[in-house]
Amino acid sequence: MALRVPERLRRRFDAFLDRRLPPASSQELSHKSIFIFPSGFGFAWLGLVLLLYLFGTNYQNNLVIGLALVLLSLFLSCIIYSFRNLAGLNLSRLPPPHIYAGETLALPMELTSSHGAMAVNLSYPGNEVVVCDCGKEPQKVLVPVKTRKRGLLRPGRLLVESRYPLGLLRTWSWLDMDVAHPVFASPLPAPVHLGADSDASSSSDLGKHVAGVDEFAGLRSYVQGESLQRVAWKQLAQGRGMLSKDFAEPQGLPQWLALPTNEPLETALSQLAWQVDELTRSKQIFGLRLGDTVLEPALGEQHRIGCQLTIALYPERP
């Protein structure tokens, strides 16, 4: 059964860590950030050393005493090697991908070591452990973090641990990698209800792009006979072949998404998240009105991410 740490003692230890190991996106382990303590196997080893020494002195057996001293010297040598294994290990946090609530975030870390680090365990509390070896060349490691709800994810301190070389000692550090990553609301399918600034038009094409000359919409294969003014000469010079520029213009009035009022808050936000993705897939122009935040009608991946971030960080009702 796990040992329950008193709340007061835990708070004092957390305050000690905050002073000694402040948050940073890149950290290097040194004597100030590495802790060493015998493992269960290490305590058993020391117990064996003590028994051999007592047996040898009681029966005046120098061979047994010598064996006890050899085992003790091996234990002491492991302290140096255990510290050296983690000392100089540099960890840098890389930009994580966007995810939805309920998914597991693969938090990317880049590890380097001036002399190599063996059997290094990386984990966040309550998550799976990743084991890796690293050297002077940068190595990318994905550390899993479970997500349960939307909002700003703060997984806590990263446990960096090793029992190298013989498992006699546990060498570890608690690092705050300054992670504060937004988690999108879990999409929940729902009918899309768009509202316009005016009821003057009810066409199903409202907010969509149609062929025109106003805005650049992308590239497509060149069709024989098209005007050379539409040819993407820059891409042709890059060896990408003959491509034509497509232009489009918005049709109808701007369309808006708003928070459904007939559902609980979290359900409504999940439905809104699904609608944002659905409209983006169908290349529909839309804006978002959520609380005091207004995102003007637009189209594309950046607009989708902006809308999802707004939904993810929307405050919870008391």
Predicted confidence (pLDDT) per residue in 56-99, tens digit: 999 889 999 999 999 999 999 999 999 999 999 999 999 999 99
Would you call 68 helix, strand, or coil by DSSP? helix
pLDDT at 302: 92
In the numeric block, the tokens 């809104």 are attached to 272
Can you give the pTM of this predicted structure? 0.76
Domain spans of the chain, in order of start: 16-182, 195-312
Q: What is the pLDDT of residue 160?
A: 96
Q: pLDDT value at position 229?
A: 66
Sheet holding 130-134, edge to edge: 35-38, 169-175, 158-162, 117-123, 130-134
pLDDT of residue 196: 57
- Using alpha carbons only, what angle is made at residue 91 by residues 86 and 95, rounded to the nearest 5 degrees? 160
Q: Which residue has the higher pLDDT, 197 or 236?
A: 236
Strand partners, 247: 216
Name the pLDDT band for 21 (thresholds 50, 70, 90). confident
pLDDT, mean of residues 138-145 = 94
Cβ neighbours of residue 98 closer than 8 Å, sequence gap 6 or more:
182, 184, 305, 308
Residue 227 in this model has a pLDDT that exceeds 70:
no
